[in-house]
Amino acid sequence: MTHIITSLCIRDEGCMSVCPVDCIVPGKPLDEWPLMYIDPEVCIDCGACIPECPYEAIFMEDEVPAEYEAFGGEYINRLEFDGHYEGENMYGEEVVLDTVKELEEGEVVDLTKDIQSNYDFFEKGPGYEALD
Ligand code: SF4
Ligand code: SF4
């Protein structure tokens, strides 16, 4: 079991500093790995990151919703989308994403798709090397 950051993440980095085992890393390069990712081999399922996320993007792996119903106005951040987002992370640094879509009220999204990509980031992708 691990916790999973879903594509509701828009990289504000609020969760990184609270993780007691430092297993939350930013995906890089951004145009291939647009989310933050949790190393499933290191996560101790303490749950500390969940309340830190202002976008409610983090779930226990077995609680990731297959039918997430949007309240409207939140962003989904996936490679398949080409919408533009500009904001700031919690440190006041600029965040620019070109892989987003703004969700409409009542729109239903399967967030379980994000589980495998989290594993892929560490097993097949750059994993911690992305921090370099
Ligand atoms: S559940 Fe705990 S250990 Fe796992 S990523 Fe979140 S803060 Fe880190
Ligand atoms: S706090 Fe939420 S939005 Fe911010 S980086 Fe973590 S998962 Fe992404």
pLDDT digits (tens, 9 = 90+) for 7-60: 999 999 999 999 999 999 999 999 999 999 999 999 999 999 999 999 999 999
Residue 92 pLDDT level (bands cut at 50, 70, 90): very high
The answer as to CATH 1.10.287.3510 being correct for domain 3-69+108-131 is no
pLDDT of residue 132 exceeding 80, the answer is no
* Ligand 1 within 6 A of CB of 21: yes
Phi and psi at residue 83, in whole multiples of 5°? -75, 160
What separation in Å is there between the alpha carbon of 46 and the centre of ligand 1? 5
pTM listed for this prediction = 0.96
Measured by CA distance, the residue closest to atom 6 of ligand 2 is 15
Give per-residue pLDDT as tens, 43-58: 999 999 999 999 999 9
